[in-house]
Amino acid sequence: MKRPSGRAPDTLRDVILETGVSKYAEGSCLAKFGETHVLCTASIEDRVPPFLRNSGKGWVTAEYGMLPRSTETRIDRRRAAESGRTQEIQRLIGRSLRAVTRLDGFGERQIRVDCDVLQADGGTRTAGITGGYVALYQAFQHMQSVDAIAEIPMSDSVAAISCGLWEGAAVLDLDYAEDSTAQADANFVFTGSGGIVEVQGTAEGDPFSQDEFLALMALARKGIEELGVLQKAALAP
C-alpha cells in the first residue's frame, strides 16, 4: 500500500503553524497541513451573548468559511456560508476551544475565532481547531500583556487530526486524494493531556470494526502529540 503523497501510514503532512500573520487581530495563526492552509484569527469583543450577561463569564465562539477559490472550482461565497457543513464545522471548532477554556477567567468578554480556508486539500476542520487554539492562546497573551487578566484561562491545549482506512490500511492525516476514496474516515479532537473532546467517524462503504477504530484512534493520539509539540513551539516567546 502506497499513499498518494508517499507518506508512511503514521506520518503527518508537513505542518507549519505560523503566528503573528495578522496586523490587527489579537491572536493569529496560519495553519498549513501540506496543501491545506487555514488562516485563524482571534478577536476580543467587550460583550457577551445575551444569555451570559451579568454572569461574570466570557464566551469563545468560532466562525468557519472557505474562500471562493480555496478549491479546484470556485465556491459560491453566500451558499458556502449558509451550508449545513459550514455550520457544523464552526460549531465543532467552538466546542473544541471552549473545552479547554475557563470561561470565568477573562470577564464578560467574547473571543471570536475566525477560521478562513485559503486552500483546501482535506482536513480543513482539524487544521482550524489546531490553529484556532494557537490564535486563541495568543489573544489571551495579549489580554495578559495589557493587564486585562492575570493568567491565561486555559486548562490544556487542544488539537485535532483526521485518520482513515485507505486501501484497507489505517492512515494518519488524510489529504483530499485519500479522504475522497477512503473506506472510512474519522476526525479526532484531543486535549494535550489525552482527554477526548470529540470523535466523528463514518464508514463510507462497509462498516468497520472496533479493532479498526482503535487503530485509527492510536494513530490520532500519535499525531496529536506531535501537533502539541508544534503548538508549544509556535507559542514560545
CB 113 within 8 Å of CB 60: yes
Ordered by where they begin, the domains of the chain are: 15-235 (3.30.230.70)
Which is nearest to 94 in space by CA: 60, 139, 128? 60
Is it the case that residue 110 has pLDDT exceeding 80? yes
Residue type, 148: A
How much is the average pLDDT of 167-191?
96
Percent of the chain surpassing pLDDT 70: 100
Measured CA to CA in angstroms, residue 49 lies from 63, 81, 108, 110, 168 at distances of 15, 21, 9, 8, 46
**201-216 pLDDT, tens per residue?**
999 989 999 999 999 9
Under 8 Å between Cβ of 175 and 4: yes
Q: What is the pLDDT of residues 141-170, one digit of tens each?
A: 999 999 999 999 999 999 999 999 999 999
Question: What are the grid coordinates assigned to 66, written together?
Answer: 472557505
Structure pTM? 0.96
Going by pLDDT thresholds of 50, 70 and 90, the confidence category of residue 178 is very high
Q: How far is CA 94 from CA 52, 123, 202, in A?
A: 16, 16, 21
> Does residue 1 carry a pLDDT above 80?
no
pLDDT, position 88: 96
Look at residue 129 in the predicted model and tell me its pLDDT. 98
pLDDT of residue 194: 96
Which pLDDT belongs to residue 237? 83
- What's the confidence (pLDDT) of residue 10? 97
pLDDT in tens, 33-47: 999 999 999 999 999
